[in-house]
Structure 1
């Protein structure tokens, strides 16, 4: 089948109102070829078009592979995959830039979004691509100077518990003991780290250690938290539709969660003005709350939260005052030299004489217990 014939079949199918079943695609191939193709040629064309027009196309095997967390396309011949050991280049290739663009636009449409010259980027969520939902982000040229850029994050439910993370070497036994004390004492905590560092996995494992008679209400931008716990409520934000209406933000859901009698209020990822509502809630009797924040180290958490609180109109001094009373512990996760995800540090947030909050290391994967260990022990004892 020639490229021009494939293009004519694509145009014919684009105008087709019926579902794109194999019989419909085969009929389009025969019609556009004038009936000159044999059965083997029609079957070859059918397989090629099915790959292009259904699911994630040539990326489908990567998304369905066990352990895949991210699939990234930066050029037709540059497809990268992360399956837990860091990014590596795959052998998957697109025929050309147009093929990448068509896939990005089709996936955007499946997510209820538009992607074209007037709206050259998209952020959405997909279902039906393998066993898990997928977060979609795509950018078109000329915004993406080198060509269409496609990023797919596989949203696998985070179901691991602390024991499994200890066995996998992600948590040192002495750190696990500290985490158990933190959970039992109902200390509020934040989990920090970079993208793909394992923040959500760590949070789910910690929530699995919460007493079964406590009610956990989780607010998320995308459904990832699935801890093994008998009393769990998940609230998931929703983006606006193509008309720009119908959005439900994380901040909206945090406010709703406060009316649902949570014993533990959890925000899957604190990335905006919802930090104001979370800190307010933790300061009004909702002990033991938790969330994740993008930060390179616990020491950077106060500055990171300052920036987020500014979006909600909370000044710097007020943020530090709220933070000092609301959150006690920071757990930092990251990758080691082999690319494996590990808990690297546990820190305690303390207010200095000028009212500013700083993080003091209580335990570090490379140095063991540190100055903050005594303060952490005092906090645990005071809550028991």
Structure 2
């Protein structure tokens, strides 16, 4: 298919299926109807899409595609990491695909810039070139699905959680969704934001746009990296400042990874109740330490983090991913412990042996169900 590919690329006009089909017809190849359609799909994917990875991305079960070299392609999804039979002919092919995808996102990938991350329509792409990568070109693709899950679908194995998660949104508590990579933090946050009142205005601030709540009034802001001249950067802090001028009813600051925790906590301390975000952590109890560590990167003292987080955040919802799928494992209150530290006090917890209420439940129940019959201190 090399001559056909070259013929299409020789014309600077946009690559379309019709142009690919015409180039294939004029090449003189006799492929038959089925073969021609398959060739058009393959060439279109190679020139405009994900190339050999196109069919993997088309599967609704796949959330991530990970290329560790020309002969090692993995997918992640409902069944966890699975090695795919898809392979590239050489590392040069992997590099060519990675370079094209990064260029489509307005950035460069070469020896002077061997690591790059871009957001495309439906994909988040990260690439690393040798010698930073010792085993060849690395390509990681996160697929953004248009489908939005309801809470009932997400928590199907534990429907009694829905009552409490819905109440967190209804009572406009500020929360973090914690968990490991792939545990479903962004998916749960999107579902929760979809429960906000239809007359509320949601302003989302993210490093890479992944949230897609089913809500009638959503405004999304996304950070921008510098261009090839090193200009044009728009960071998370600037977006937070802009968002506060946009009359948000709920301000959501996507994922907190590092020094941006200062902007994250500042945003949640502006009086906008019902705010949310996500954070990587091994457990709900590890969230205070994560906040302190990220605060140190931002130049905040431990005392400043405790004061800011204690005022800004009400609770953390921790997710785990196991053989049975993704599930809410714990809901814990975040509050100063009186000794100069921040602590996560378990309110609701689930494991294989028991589901129960922790010491933080009475205080949480009073806020979720004030005076109501659900303000109980033990499981019914």
TM-score, length-scaled by structure 1: 0.85
Secondary structure of 1:364's partner?
Answer: strand
The residue aligned with 1:280 is 266
Answer yes or no: is the 8 Å Cα contact 1:220–1:250 preserved in 2. Answer: yes
1:144 to 2:153 alignment: no
Alignment of 1:191-340 (within 5 A): 191-338=177-324, 340=325
The residue aligned with 2:377 is none
Name the CA distance, whole Å, in 1 between partners of 2:101 and 2:253: 28
Name the CA distance, whole Å, in 1 between partners of 2:290 and 2:257: 9
Name the CA distance, whole Å, in 1 between partners of 2:265 and 2:370: 21
Answer yes or no: is the 8 Å Cα contact 2:4–2:24 preserved in 1. Answer: no
Answer yes or no: is the 8 Å Cα contact 2:63–2:143 preserved in 1. Answer: yes
Deviation at 1:228, TM superposition (A): 2.2
C-alpha distance after superposition, 1:242-267 (max 9, x if no partner): 22222222221111111122221111
Answer yes or no: is the 8 Å Cα contact 1:161–1:209 preserved in 2. Answer: no
TM-score, length-scaled by structure 2: 0.86
1:155 to 2:149 alignment: no
Change (3 A) 1:10 1:230: closer
Q: Pick from 21, 29, 37: which aligns with 1:39? A: 29
Q: Which runs of 5 or more residues in structure 2 are unaligned?
A: 373-380
The residue aligned with 1:103 is 97
1:363 to 2:348 alignment: yes
Highest RCO, 1 vs 2 (Cα 8 Å, sep ≥ 6): 1
Change (3 A) 1:357 1:261: same
C-alpha distance after superposition, 1:55-82 (max 9, x if no partner): 1111011112223210111121211112
The residue aligned with 1:376 is 364
The residue aligned with 1:33 is none
The residue aligned with 1:65 is 59
Paired residues, number: 362
1:86 to 2:80 alignment: yes
Name the CA distance, whole Å, in 2 between partners of 1:383 and 1:278: 32
Q: Which runs of 5 or more residues in structure 1 are unaligned?
A: 31-37, 128-132
Change (3 A) 1:243 1:370: same
Answer yes or no: is the 8 Å Cα contact 1:214–1:264 preserved in 2. Answer: yes
Name the CA distance, whole Å, in 2 between partners of 1:173 and 1:12: 57
